[in-house]
Structure 1
Amino acid sequence: MALGGALKQIIWLLFICSAEVPIYLSAAIGGLNTAADTANTLLFLWAPRFRNSVSSYLGIPLYAIGIYLELASELQRRAFKSDPRPRGPNHARVHSTGLFALARHINYTGFALWRAGYAMAAAGVPWSIVTGGFFLWDFASRAVPSLEGYMREKYGEEWREVERRVRWRLVPGVY
Structure 2
Amino acid sequence: MANVSPNDRAAQAQADDNGGPPTDKIHRGNYNRSIAGTATWIGLRAIDPLLQYYLLSKGWGSAILDKLGLSSMQIGGNALSSVLDARSILLGMSVTAAARHVYWILVLNREYFPPSFAAYVAAFNLAFDTTSSLILLSPKASTILKGPRIPIPGTDTSFPLPLLLGTAMFLVGSVTETLAEVQRKRFKERPENQGKIYTGGLWQLAQHINYAGYMLWRGGYMLAAGGIVPCVLEVLFLLRDFLGTSIKGMDEYMTRKYSGQWTRYKTDVPYKLFPGIV
TM-score normalised to structure 1 length: 0.92
Aligned to 2:274, what secondary structure does the other structure show?
Answer: coil
**Contact kept in structure 2, 1:40 and 1:123, CA below 8 Å:** yes
Aligned to 2:185, what secondary structure does the other structure show?
Answer: helix
Q: CA deviation at 1:49?
A: 5.0
Tell me the distance in 2 between the aligned counterparts of 1:58 and 1:42.
19
Tell me the distance in 2 between the aligned counterparts of 1:141 and 1:166.
19
> Which residue of 191, 197, 200 corresponds with 1:94?
197
Residues 48-106 of structure 1 deviation map (CA, whole Å, 9 limit, x = unaligned): 7541301011100000000011000011111111122x35xxx6511111101100100
Tell me the distance in 2 between the aligned counterparts of 1:158 and 1:25.
30
Tell me the distance in 2 between the aligned counterparts of 1:47 and 1:136.
28
**Contact kept in structure 1, 2:136 and 2:142, CA below 8 Å:** no
Give the number of aligned pairs: 171
Q: CA deviation at 1:161?
A: 1.3
Tell me the distance in 1 between the aligned counterparts of 2:172 and 2:246.
22
Pairing 1:2–2:94 present: yes
Tell me the distance in 1 between the aligned counterparts of 2:224 and 2:183.
28
Tell me the distance in 2 between the aligned counterparts of 1:42 and 1:49.
9
Tell me the distance in 2 between the aligned counterparts of 1:170 and 1:159.
16
TM-score normalised to structure 2 length: 0.59
Q: CA deviation at 1:116?
A: 0.4
RMSD of equivalent CA atoms: 1.4
> Which residue of 230, 240, 243 corresponds with 1:137?
240
**Contact kept in structure 1, 2:195 and 2:258, CA below 8 Å:** no
Change (3 A) 1:130 1:20: same
Which structure has more relative contact order (CA 8 Å, sep 6+)? It is 1
Q: CA deviation at 1:130?
A: 0.8
Q: CA deviation at 1:47?
A: 4.0
Larger CA deviation: 18-27 vs 127-136: 18-27
Q: CA deviation at 1:23?
A: 2.3
Pairing 1:65–2:172 present: yes
Pairing 1:162–2:265 present: yes
Tell me the distance in 2 between the aligned counterparts of 1:111 and 1:61.
14
Kindly name which structure, 1 or 2, has the bigger radius of gyration based on alpha carbons: 2
Gap regions ≥5 residues in structure 2: 1-92, 147-159
